């Protein structure tokens, strides 16, 4: 089995919010006691509705945010206990692809400038001439040919799909081991999304990358896991509710929230579509992080909630080789 690359232990991130009419400080907990592990060359798809804490968790694993408590380890080392030099090396190895490629590039700099600057800064290229050849190779690698057509263009002169390929080229340019793809395909036309996922997975095979693939879209998760394998982690209001082998979680989810997400996601092949007859949500409204229900966070929406759920926070239960945060996880193991 490959080495553990990235690990979080009991990770918590709170943000201070201002009260409108004064009063003491108030905090929301965007990430609540989250522990995940990602091995070298492995995928972890992180799924959940908007506001579930997925992006905050992704940024915590990159050292872009400091946790309120808990730890982030990279190759066994706590990233916040690293020396300056170790942290710099970690940041070179841990990259991000953002949702909106247009906002992640400087609009007044050419593509060559944006791709060559990190190569020169990290001394991967010794001079501009070497950087030119490296950028040309990167552009070819992400399917933008001939590279000379793209080198001197500005971001505004490129399509969303082309610019996201450039963002991928930039993410792999420093030869990282770990990439957070944060809703990396959700702003693209549906026709381009699968091509970008295929590209990410091809690059994974070539460079042995590990992906934290963040998405709100279960259809996209299904495609990513089907093609690339790996685990699925489902988040709800800052907490992990289910974590297990991707194909199994999607085929047969145990947590009621995951079951509802899967049920709501269209399946391309009608032969695969199978309704489990899951009752509807009690409420369509996602509670605010400032007003989380006591007990199970999902209890205000869960069709199976009872009085225990409304009082007692469910602990993680190990069902098969899966972690499920539900008092009744074993009962929801439906089998096929």
**Residues that bind ligand SF4 in the complex, under the rule CB under 6 A:** 256, 296, 298-299, 302, 304-305, 309, 314, 326-328
What minimum distance in Å lies between the beta carbon of 258 and ligand SF4? 10
State the minimum distance, in angstroms, from the CB of residue 256 to ligand SF4: 4
Give whichever of 115 and 296 is closer to ligand SF4, judged by the CB atom: 296
If DSSP codes are grouped into helix, strand and coil, which group holds residue 19? coil
User: Closest CB to ligand SF4 among 195 and 287?
Assistant: 287
Smallest gap from residue 304 Cβ to ligand SF4 (A): 4
The answer to whether 322 and 242 are in contact (CB under 8 A) is yes
For ligand SF4, the closer CB: 233 or 302: 302
Nearer to ligand SF4 (CB atom), residue 79 or residue 249: 249
- Nearest partner of 166 among 142, 147, 148, 146, judged by Cα: 142
Would strands 178-182 and 94-97 be described as parallel, antiparallel, or unpaired?
Answer: parallel
**Considering the complex, what minimum distance in angstroms separates the CB of residue 50 from ligand SF4?**
20
Closer residue to ligand SF4, CB minimum distance, 157 or 311: 311
As measured in angstroms, the least distance from the Cβ of 328 to ligand SF4 is 5
SS3 call for 200: helix
- Minimum distance from residue 333 beta carbon to ligand SF4 (Å): 13
- Rounded Cα distance between 41 and 209, Å, is 5
Q: Which is closer to ligand SF4, CB of 169 or CB of 296? A: 296
CB 34, min distance to ligand SF4, A:
17
Q: In what order do the strands lie in the sheet with 77-78?
A: 26-39, 4-17, 69-74, 77-78
* Three-class DSSP category at 45: strand
Compute the least distance from the CB of residue 294 to ligand SF4, in Å: 11
Are the CB atoms for 172 and 207 separated by under 8 Å?
yes
Cα separation, 112 vs 110, whole angstroms:
5
Q: Reduce the DSSP state of residue 229 to 3 states and report it.
A: coil
Of 74, 87, 44, 12, the C-alpha closest to 181 is 44
The span from the CA of 248 to the CA of 38, in Å, is: 18
Question: Among residues 189 and 306, whose Cβ is nearest to ligand SF4?
Answer: 306
The helix-helix angle for 111-121 and 160-173 (nearest 10°) equals 10
Contact 188, 164 (CB under 8 A): yes
Output the DSSP codes for 127-139: SHHHHHHHHHHHH
Q: Which is nearer to ligand SF4, 198 or 310 (CB)?
A: 310
Could you give the CA distance from residue 40 to residue 1 in angstroms, rounded to a whole number? 9
Examine residue 146 and say whether the peptide bond preceding it is cis (omega within 30 degrees of 0). Answer: yes
Looking at the Cβ atoms of 119 and 234, the one nearer to ligand SF4 is: 234
State in angstroms the smallest separation of the CB of 288 from ligand SF4: 18
Beta bridge partners of 228: none
């Amino acid at each position: 089995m490959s080495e553990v690359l990235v690990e979080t232990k009991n990770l918590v991130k709170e943000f201070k919010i201002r009260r409108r009419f004064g009063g003491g400080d108030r905090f929301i907990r965007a990430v609540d006691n989250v522990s995940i592990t990602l091995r070298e060359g492995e995928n972890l798809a992180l799924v959940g509705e908007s506001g579930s804490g997925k992006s905050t968790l992704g940024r915590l694993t990159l050292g872009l945010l400091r946790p309120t408590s808990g730890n982030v380890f990279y190759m066994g080392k706590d990233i916040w206990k690293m020396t300056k030099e170790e942290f710099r090396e970690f940041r070179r190895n841990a990259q991000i692809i953002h949702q909106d490629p247009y906002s992640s590039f400087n609009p007044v700099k050419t593509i060559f400038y944006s791709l060559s600057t990190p190569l020169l800064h990290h001394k991967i290229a010794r001079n501009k001439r070497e950087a030119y050849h490296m950028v040309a190779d990167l552009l070819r690698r992400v399917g933008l040919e001939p590279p000379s057509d793209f080198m001197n263009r500005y971001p505004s002169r490129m399509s969303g799909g082309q610019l996201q390929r450039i963002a991928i080229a930039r993410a792999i340019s420093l030869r990282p081991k770990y990439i957070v793809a944060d809703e990396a395909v959700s702003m693209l036309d549906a026709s381009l999304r699968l091509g970008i996922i295929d590209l990410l997975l091809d690059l994974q095979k070539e460079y042995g990358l590990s992906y934290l693939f963040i998405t709100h879209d279960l259809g996209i998760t299904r495609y990513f896991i089907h093609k690339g394998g790996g685990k699925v982690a489902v988040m709800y209001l800052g907490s992990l509710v289910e974590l297990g082998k991707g194909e199994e979680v999607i085929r047969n989810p145990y947590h009621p929230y995951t079951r509802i997400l899967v049920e709501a996601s269209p399946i391309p092949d009608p032969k695969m579509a199978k309704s489990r007859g899951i009752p509807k949500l009690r409420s369509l409204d996602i509670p605010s992080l400032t007003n989380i229900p006591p007990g199970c966070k999902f209890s205000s929406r869960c069709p199976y909630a009872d009085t225990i759920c409304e009082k007692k926070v469910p602990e993680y239960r190990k069902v098969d080789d899966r972690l499920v945060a539900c008092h009744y996880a074993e009962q929801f193991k439906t089998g096929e």
